[in-house]
Amino acid sequence: MDQIIIEKIKQVKKGDQSAFADVVSFYQDKIYQHCLRMLGNAHEAEDMAQEAFIRAYVNIHSFDDRRKFSTWLYRIATNLTIDRIRKRKPDYYLDAEIRGTEGLDMYSQLASEERLPGEEVESLELQRYIHHEISQLPPKYRSIIMLRYLEEFSLQEISDILDIPLGTVKTRIHRGREALRKRLRHV
């Protein structure tokens, strides 16, 4: 697959726009998911994921072929989402905690969706809960935990993606793990 992507990138560099569609459809789930986990909002996530691909396309000539394309793409997406979080207006989001409650967000106020029977619900709820707990981490820890355990990058690659020293990645991943350990210990 990597070889195919490398070929496609070459074609895009030559100016063949249609080759980029294959690149997008190969990475779309990963990048969309990454943005969603960073931002916690589906609409914003779609917007940012699209923007990430467009920036990748526009700046394709600054991509060095000898490096991994996925690392480069994640770097663009991560920077975009972090920028977005910084610029965020104090707006009302459904998943923002309701004042005066503990861990209750607007989702819990909505009528729950159709229930699935038995275990499936349990495992889906657990997955959702974990996702929620990860999203509660500060962005600088969250991004690293996600890249390491959900997107399975090596620490060195994470250091490249985030453009921070390897030592810092390690310190943050330690803290992120500890923070989540405390949050998830009673699961």
Partner 1 sequence: MECNKESVELMHKYLDGDLYKKEEEQLRAHLETCEACQHHFHELKRTITLIKSAEHFTAPMDFTQKVMDRLPTEKKRVTYMRWFKMHPVLTAAAIFFVLMMTGMFASWSEDGQLVVSKQEELVIQGDTVIVPEGVTVPGDVLVKNGKLLIKGTIDGNVTLVNGKLISDDGSLNGEGLMASAGGVNGELETVDQMFEWMWYQLKSFLRGVFSF
Shortest gap between Cβ of 62 and partner 1 (angstroms)?
16
Question: Does residue 105 belong to the site contacting partner 1 (CB under 8 A)?
Answer: no
Helices 118-135, 18-39: crossing angle, 10 deg rounding: 80
Q: Where are the alpha helices (DSSP H) in the chain?
A: 2-13, 18-39, 42-58, 69-87, 118-135, 139-145, 155-162, 166-184
Shortest gap between Cβ of 45 and partner 1 (angstroms)?
8
Query: From residue 41 to residue 70, what is the string marking binding to partner 1 with x (rule CB under 8 A)?
Result: -----x--xx--xx--xx------------
Question: Does residue 155 belong to the site contacting partner 1 (CB under 8 A)?
Answer: yes
Choice from 145, 147, 161, 162 touching partner 1 (CB under 8 A): 145
Residue in this structure with the two tokens 């700046």, named with its chain if needed: 59
Residue (15 or 118) nearer to partner 1, CB: 15
Question: Does residue 151 belong to the site contacting partner 1 (CB under 8 A)?
Answer: no
* Residue 105 β-bridge partners: 97
Note whether 95 and 43 are within 8 A (CB). Answer: no
Give the DSSP per-residue string, 80-126.
HHHHHHHH--S---TTSBPTTSSS-BGGGGSPPPPPPPHHHHHHHHH
Residue (13 or 99) nearer to partner 1, CB: 13
Query: What distance in Å separates the CA atoms of residue 13 and residue 8, rounded to the nearest whole number?
Result: 9
Residue (9 or 31) nearer to partner 1, CB: 31
Question: Does residue 184 belong to the site contacting partner 1 (CB under 8 A)?
Answer: yes
Q: Using CB under 8 A as the criterion, which residues of the chain lie in contact with partner 1 when the complex forms?
A: 14-18, 20-21, 24-25, 28-29, 31-33, 36-37, 46, 49-50, 53-54, 57-58, 124, 126-128, 130-131, 134, 145, 149-150, 155, 170, 173-174, 177-178, 180-181, 184-185, 187
